[in-house]
Amino acid sequence: MANLTDCIEEYLKKLLALSSERYVEVQRRQLAKKFACVPSQINYVLERRFSPDRGYLVESRRGGGGWIRIFRIETSHARPWREVIESLNGREFEPSRIRQLLKRMYEEKIISRRESSLLETVIKDRIYEEKGLSKNKARELQHELLSEALEELLKVNY
Amino acid sequence: MANLTDCIEEYLKKLLALSSERYVEVQRRQLAKKFACVPSQINYVLERRFSPDRGYLVESRRGGGGWIRIFRIETSHARPWREVIESLNGREFEPSRIRQLLKRMYEEKIISRRESSLLETVIKDRIYEEKGLSKNKARELQHELLSEALEELLKVNY
DNA sequence: TATATAAAGGTCAGAGATGGTCAGATGAAA
DNA sequence: TTTCATCTGACCATCTCTGACCTTTATATA
């Protein structure tokens, strides 16, 4: 195998495939020791090869008995929707337009009515105005919060 | 089980689950002896894993025949979650604390896992920092968005 | 009754054990 | 040569565990 990163990736994916759980659990130190590298190399592999984009979710805990868990997550049909919303630029990101999108997501059964109403809350101009934010700042925040929220939804299929 | 704290937590929760009372009673010394650790380790576990945030209440008595009682706090329907969150004042509104509350709401089946994860998005400091908001402003917005979102949930049926 | 002693539990600082981050070195490929 | 991916190491953040010292309560004894 060409390089460490590939080796570690392959190893972890094998573990994941063989595991009866929906995740694998490793210790950073141990894994680094196994591959004779510095611990931070593990973080590099996780970042590059087990990112959400690639369909993985990583959790960890520090301290004595710490661990790293890698989940394989289902990529649902929500992905294209998120991409649409993410790609909207400033002018296009208008609450009324977003509400329309959310409505369609609900109709397509991508999200529930309750989820839709939670997401609509995030794009309510009034809230940001009350806190004295400029229109631009508000738009940016709304955009970011919404993208992030949809991103989270993609992860929660397990 | 990786570490002592987890073991002791698991043990106590098992006791609690099996108990016919609404609390369990233990002795610090005995428990420490059972797990072959110093007594103060027990206090650590209680502090970290049986805090009010996590839905537990701990009482104790010193002296001969002393004891420690751990209660699971029932959710009071007299004080809805929305009100609890709304009533948090500045200092108390900390993302870590809110996350704990959301976790409990999920455990109590008030919200789904997906809804919980949507709501968690709203309290991610990083997003607000990236947009250049002050900590205070961010807190205010988080608080308002969360309250508003929970309010919306009340209005909507599945 | 007043006091001493024993038998609990509480607090806190610090050591130990993990994992995280980031800048920069190194290496591979275009 | 330039650029991008890989890899390292120093430094940081967080969680766990211990031990010394303190407070409270029950009980025995003067």
B121-153: pLDDT as tens digits: 999 988 888 888 888 888 999 999 999 999 999
- Tokens for B30, please give them: 């005995």
B37 CB neighbours strand D below 7 A: yes
B96 and B144 housed in the same domain: yes
Q: What is the pLDDT of residue B78?
A: 59
Q: Could you list the residue range(s) of the whole structural domain that residue A107 is in?
A: 79-155
A87 and A135 housed in the same domain: yes
- Where on the phi/psi map is residue B109: left (φ > 0), alpha (ψ -120 to 50), or beta? left
B36 and B58 housed in the same domain: yes
Query: The CATH number of the domain where B66 resides is what?
Result: 3.30.56.130
Please tell me whether residue B155 adopts helix, strand or coil conformation: helix
Q: What is the pLDDT of residue B77?
A: 65
Interface test with B, best of A128, A140, A145 (most B CBs within 10 A): A145
Mean pLDDT of B33-56: 96
Q: What is the pLDDT of residue A48?
A: 97
Strand partners, B58: B70
Q: What is the pLDDT of residue B65?
A: 92
Which of B43, B72, B101 lies at the terminal end of a domain, its last residue?
B72
Q: Which long-range contacts (CB under 8 A, 24 or more apart) does A133-140 make?
A: A133/B137, A133/B141, A136/A90, A137/B131, A137/B132, A137/B133, A139/A90, A139/A93, A140/B131
Residue B157 has pLDDT above 80, yes or no: no
B89 and B140 housed in the same domain: yes
Q: Look over chain B and give the mean of its residue pLDDT values, rounded to a whole number.
A: 90
Closest to A61 in 3D by CA, of A25, A21, A9: A25
- Tokens for A110, please give them: 């991508």
Q: Please tell me if residue A109 touches chain B, with a CB cutoff of 8 Å.
A: no
Q: Please tell me if residue A137 touches chain B, with a CB cutoff of 8 Å.
A: yes
B87 and B64 housed in the same domain: no
B77-99: pLDDT as tens digits: 657 787 878 777 777 788 888 89
Sites in chain A below the pLDDT cut of 50: none
Mean pLDDT of B45-62: 96
Q: Please tell me if residue B154 touches chain A, with a CB cutoff of 8 Å.
A: no
Are A153 and B119 within 8 A, CB to CB? no
- Where on the phi/psi map is residue B105: left (φ > 0), alpha (ψ -120 to 50), or beta? alpha
Number of folded domains that form chain B:
2
B107 and B150 housed in the same domain: yes
Residue B76 has pLDDT above 90, yes or no: no
Which of B72, B92, B123 lies at the terminal end of a domain, its last residue?
B72
